[in-house]
Structure 1
């Protein structure tokens, strides 16, 4: 009987509290709903805004490394703003919250100095434009085609389609070799022939091969010359200029054609050899 009285009293008190604080409950419910609505609309708006900005930047021929970096930076900044706005709707003092976040950010920043250096390096890479998306580079101890520059990392794709993620600070602190920066490249080949070979004839064969190859540029002019008298061969340098996109295909084709033409003209290509002389000691 006492339990029923206690339950009845509790229910009556709860009902009385709800009636007396009905306005406050409605206000809290409205604020929570408004905060959730702010988050949902804000996230959707941020996605649409950053996606639209990325499309506009690419439509204006802005390099994708720059557009991706800017949109990523804008996205996270706007998301932070949306979260703060939603918290303010439920009564959280945003000024205090910002101060707390700032203090926490300082502590996290001290603990994550490497990440901050990667971020700063990413800004510098975008600003100085050492490379762009699609360039083939050697950087950070690896090589590949630049896919994108993110806030903290740079994405490279290798010729065999492997993805390499390199910290931005590692790229900036190391040498950067950009093979795609210029439209033309010089192809450097070293062709060794036998010491018994006719050097003039060899030079004529190599020159004719370059003259007949349409991918070899006329300007700058190519060079064919004796470079070194090696241990077992006379080494010619063959240095034609080519378009950057023709570099590898032309290199493979020239090496094959040079070998075939030298064989057809009786010009030998030596390989390292060692003569071993054995002496037999006669017994007394």
Structure 2
């Protein structure tokens, strides 16, 4: 009985000694993990702030893109801190990294279309084929850019409709930007009758181009005979204007050409077809 009591006391002492040793060991591990986590948290925030400040000073970098890259750096640092904290407790971090890699691959395959839009959004924000406020046209969609996001681009059509275009559709297709260049050309084509005074029509269009203040002097406006149509001689007035004035100027010039031609007796004929009835020989007509 006494021997059993001594064995129990010895076992208890050994268990307490082992527990105290484990407590000391894990207390240092827990304390180190807390210190690593706190330092990593503040370091990630500091890295995010530095990256955002540095990218904001880079010319051509959109703030949406700057926030995206800064967040990647921050959360990448937090993942590294998390793996390091687990290593403090003796966890095999190699298996965790492999599991994270496999999970990332699975997520990437599942979100392939979304990641494609993100990649296209990054390229659109870096290369800037269009900016907010510019009017663009693609084979599938057209409108004024309202916002360029990482996933999609918001647009407003000419008739006031809201449009949301995935970035991948805008990146993988030709884009015509009507607002990017400072100046823009317009060819005003007018058909006049074959019996009208051709020199008068050319001189009239030249005078109208000089009288319009929004038409640029350089490149100099030009008037030329474009083609001989089925029912009209096509005269073209080619001129350049500032891009913001293009729409209003072209509409006004069409109106002035029509009114001036009417006042000077220059006709703008409708498409017409002339039929000629050939005379039959007299001997055939007698029969």
Fold shared, TM-score > 0.5 on shorter chain: yes
Q: TM-score, normalised by structure 2?
A: 0.67
Distance, in Å, in 1 between the alignment partners of 2:178 and 2:74 is 37
Unmatched tracts of structure 1, length 5 or more: 1-27, 279-284
How many pairs were matched up? 252
| Per-residue CA distance 1:232-258 (angstroms, 9 max, x = gap) | 111111111000111101011111111
Q: How far is the alpha carbon of 1:115 from its aligned partner?
A: 2.2
Aligned to 2:162: 163
Distance, in Å, in 1 between the alignment partners of 2:150 and 2:92 is 30
Distance, in Å, in 2 between the alignment partners of 1:250 and 1:69 is 38
Aligned to 2:264: 265
Aligned to 1:122: 121
Task: Say what the alpha-carbon RMSD is for the aligned residues.
Answer: 4.0
Change (3 A) 1:48 1:162: farther
The DSSP-based 3-state class of the residue aligned with 2:164 is strand
| Per-residue CA distance 1:158-188 (angstroms, 9 max, x = gap) | 2333332222222222112122222111012
Distance, in Å, in 2 between the alignment partners of 1:95 and 1:46 is 25
Q: How far is the alpha carbon of 1:225 from its aligned partner?
A: 1.0
The counterpart of 2:70, out of the listed 62, 71, 74, is 74
Distance, in Å, in 2 between the alignment partners of 1:49 and 1:161 is 40
- Greater Rg over alpha carbons, structure: 2
Aligned to 2:135: 136
Q: Is the 8 A contact 1:46 1:75 kept in 2?
A: no
Q: Is the 8 A contact 1:137 1:180 kept in 2?
A: yes
| Per-residue CA distance 1:3-61 (angstroms, 9 max, x = gap) | xxxxxxxxxxxxxxxxxxxxxxxxx9xx9xxx9xx99x99x99999999899878xxxx
Distance, in Å, in 1 between the alignment partners of 2:50 and 2:157 is 32
Aligned to 1:230: 229
Distance, in Å, in 2 between the alignment partners of 1:241 and 1:275 is 38
The DSSP-based 3-state class of the residue aligned with 2:165 is strand
Aligned to 2:204: 205
Aligned to 2:104: 105
The DSSP-based 3-state class of the residue aligned with 2:271 is coil
